[in-house]
Amino acid sequence: MNHITKKFNTAANQVNITSAEQAGIKARLMAAMAANPATDRSTQRHQSPVQNPAYHVQKSIVSPFLSWMQMSVHIRSQYVGIFLVTLIVLGGVSSAAERALPGDSLYEVKTSVNENIRSLFSLTPQSKAQLHVELAVRRLEEAEKLAVTGKLDTMTKDDVEKKLDQHLAVINDTILTLEEAIATDPSATEAIGDAGVSTANTLMVTEAPVSDLSDEPAQPIAPSSAPMAKMGKKMVSPAATDVNPAAATNDTAPDHTAATFSMRAEPASFAAPMALTAPSAEPVTPAATSATMSVSIAHFASSSDSSVTSGTTSPSTISATTTESVLTSALESKFAEATAVLKQGSAKISARKYGEAAILFQKAQRLANEIRVDLDARTASSTASTTPAASVTTSASSTAATDTASTTTVIKQ
């Protein structure tokens, strides 16, 4: 032990840094110290950060994205991952909800999330009304599907009806707003007329199918047709003098499915109201669907006639001719669609898929109704009798209706 300490002491004493080496290091150290001087703590310590101007400078130039940029790539990718997963999950739920029906767990997501998001994007009253018309049709289609699959019970029915009422209320409010806008600014008439016509048409169309859905057609439709009728009445402005006598008939027969309501459907001449009568007083037979179809087509002739007479009293008819060609092509495409749907329905029947066939026929009927309403709108605004194109469409519609009648009878048998 002693010899070790001795050896180490001797060795240690012999190893020394030379003064030149020491001075060399010292010079380099002092140069480094001059380049990087000490921060003066005696002054810095007693100054609050707020008083120190350097603090403000530093604060003001810090970018809000700096913390994000300073994160390690690993952590950043984690955040991005979480965000993407959330997005995918929400998107999946949302798109799955699109197919949900009343009674499904995702139905609420569909109606209160998806559709509310859509309504955020409809900024003008017109587009808002358009959207809610679309949604009302959607509610009816849901009821249709439920009825076909036999799932339309009181609960789901109430649900659909409640939602339908809400949509109708919104549409009604929007129309009232538009009317007010018209009162203050007559130049807005055209746009509002367009919105009005599509609203009216679509609602007319939606009336019939629900009545055919259930085994007892009168009951389920009664509550939902009530607001429609109400709405129709509301929509009648003081200028609407033309009241169809069929309305009275319908009032006396409350059990009948279709409601009668008056609405303005003429695009440009907003002041000229016209009465549209949905098929009323129909016998509730097994072949109700086809019967409704043919009756509605047959009815078309008379209602258009009456509309024509009321149209002749209408003072503003000028702009109708300008929209005529547009309307004709729209009608033709609609008719083509209806025919296609009928063909699909027939195919389903031959494939013995009667449920799907029934839906398709109902759709065809709806399209036929739409065509009828469009034609009504046109004839009402036109002083002349039905145009050749319209008559062609009408006869074609009748043929389509006959087709449906025969096929539906086949199903029932």
Partner 1 sequence: MLNRHNMRKDDIEQNFIALYDSLSAALFRHCFFRLSNRERALELVQETFLKAWEYVQSGQEVKNYKAFVYHIANNLIIDEYRKKKSTSLDVMQEEGFDVANNDEAEIIQSVEISQVKQALNQLPEKYRQVIVMRFIDGATLTEISETTGQSENAISVQLNRAIKMLQNIIRP
Q: Closest Cα to residue 246, out of 290, 281, 219?
A: 281
Only one of the segments 11-19, 95-103, 208-216, 260-268 lies at the binding site for partner 1 (rule: CB under 8 A); that segment is 11-19
Output 55 or 83, the one with its CB closest to partner 1: 55
Residue 20 in contact with partner 1, rule: CB under 8 A: no
Does 59 bind partner 1 (CB under 8 A)? Our answer is no
Structure tokens belonging to residue 188: 């807005």
Residue with tokens 């037979």: 285
Return the closest-CA partner of residue 243 out of 268, 197, 276, 278.
276
| Cβ 63 to partner 1 shortest distance, Å | 25
Which region, judged by CB under 8 A, interacts with partner 1, from 23-31, 301-309, 365-373, 374-382?
23-31
22 binds partner 1 (CB under 8 A): yes
Size of the site for partner 1 (CB under 8 A): 31
Q: Binding to partner 1 by residue 41, rule CB under 8 A?
A: yes
Smallest distance, Å, CB 78 to partner 1? 32
CB of 10 to partner 1, least distance (A): 4
**3-state class (DSSP) for residue 262:** strand
CA-to-CA distance for 112 and 217, rounded, in angstroms? 29
Question: From CA 264, how far away is CA 267, in angstroms rounded?
Answer: 8
CB-nearer residue toward partner 1: 51 or 60 = 51
Structure tokens given for 31: 């140069």
Among left, alpha and beta (phi > 0; psi -120 to 50; other), residue 196 is: alpha
- Alpha-carbon span 175 to 196, nearest angstrom: 7
Q: Is 203 exposed, middle or buried (0-12, 13-18, 19+ CB in 10 A)?
A: buried
Least Å distance, CB 48 to partner 1, is 16
Considering the rule CB under 8 A, would residue 184 count as an interface residue with partner 1? no
Among 36, 70, 105, 116, binds partner 1 (CB under 8 A): 36
Q: Is 48 a binder of partner 1 (CB under 8 A)?
A: no
User: C-beta of 14: minimal distance to partner 1 in Å?
Assistant: 5
Residue appearing with tokens 């209160």: 112
Kindly state the smallest distance separating residue 35's Cβ from partner 1, in Å: 10
User: How far is the C-alpha of 367 from the C-alpha of 206, rounded, in Å?
Assistant: 10
Interface with partner 1, residue 69, by CB under 8 A: no
Structure-token pair, residue 178: 């538009």
Q: Does 1 bind partner 1 (CB under 8 A)?
A: yes
Residue 29 engages partner 1 in binding (rule: CB under 8 A)? yes
Tell me which stretch binds partner 1 (CB under 8 A): 20-28, 164-172, 282-290, 359-367: 20-28
By CB under 8 A, tell whether 54 contacts partner 1.
no
According to the binding rule CB under 8 A, does residue 395 interact with partner 1? no
Per rule CB under 8 A, is residue 26 in the interface with partner 1? Answer: yes
The answer to whether residues 308 and 384 touch, using CB atoms and an 8 Å cutoff, is no
- The smaller minimum CB distance to partner 1, of residues 31 and 90, is found at 31
Both tokens assigned to 104? 């499904």
The span from the CA of 175 to the CA of 173, in Å, is 5
CB 266 within 8 A of CB 380: yes
Q: Which residues bind partner 1 (CB under 8 A)?
A: 1, 3-5, 7-12, 14-17, 21-22, 25-26, 28-30, 32-33, 36-42, 44
